[in-house]
Structures are given as C-alpha cells and as structure tokens.
C-alpha cells in the first residue's frame, strides 16, 4: 500500500515487474512515465469498488477519474486473470513479507 506522497509518486517505477498489486491512496489519476512494462489500472471509490479498469503502456498519463479515491496497479493482464472489472469489490491483504 502506498499512502505517503513519495510512495504514491514512485508506485511501480523502476521495477521490471510486480507480483500481486499495489494500492495507491488517495489517487484520481496515474502516469507510466519511466515505467518498464505496461500495467493494469483499477480506479476505485473509497470502499474499493472498481469504477473503471484500463491497461496503460509506458510513457502515458491517465485521464483523471474524479470519483476515484484509490488506484490499484498490477502487471498488464493480471486483472483479466483475476476477473477484476468495473463493479468488482476489492479487498486489501498485507504483504506477508
């Protein structure tokens, strides 16, 4: 989970991939400038209900989703495998590491 401003601004930057997902909160938009791989992005309300899902290539800026309060990022294709779509209810589990 990334809740501090510097944690949110870093997100997945500088990584070659990600196992699982990262929650950025608060957030209404994301960018992939400096990213090395495409990502799935889920824009969520305050209860983590998914409002919209997009896949973003590196060097892009999402449009703001003003109703969003949080964003979940994962490697591109992960949400399809996890069946995450608009209307899905997400939950957060701490990383055991």
Residue 91 lies in a domain: no
Q: Is the pTM of this model over 0.95?
A: no
Residue 53 lies in a domain: yes
Q: What is the dihedral of CA 39, 1, 21, 10, to 10 degrees?
A: 30
Domain that includes residue 41, residue range:
5-82
Residue 88 lies in a domain: no
Structural domain total, the chain: 1
**Is 90 in contact with 42 (CB distance < 8 Å)?**
yes
Residue 96 lies in a domain: no
Per-residue confidence in pLDDT tens, the chain, 97 aa: 555 454 545 556 666 667 788 899 999 999 998 888 999 999 999 999 999 999 999 999 999 999 999 999 999 999 999 999 999 999 988 766 6
């Amino acid at each position: 989970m990334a809740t501090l401003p510097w944690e949110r601004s870093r997100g997945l930057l500088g990584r070659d991939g990600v196992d699982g997902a990262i929650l950025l909160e608060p957030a209404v938009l994301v960018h992939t400038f400096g990213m090395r791989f495409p990502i799935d992005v889920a824009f969520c309300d305050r209860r983590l209900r998914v409002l919209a899902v997009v896949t973003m290539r590196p060097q892009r800026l999402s449009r703001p989703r003003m109703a969003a309060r949080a964003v979940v990022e994962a490697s591109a294709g992960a949400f399809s495998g996890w069946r995450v779509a608009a209307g899905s209810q997400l939950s957060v589990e701490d990383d055991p590491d």
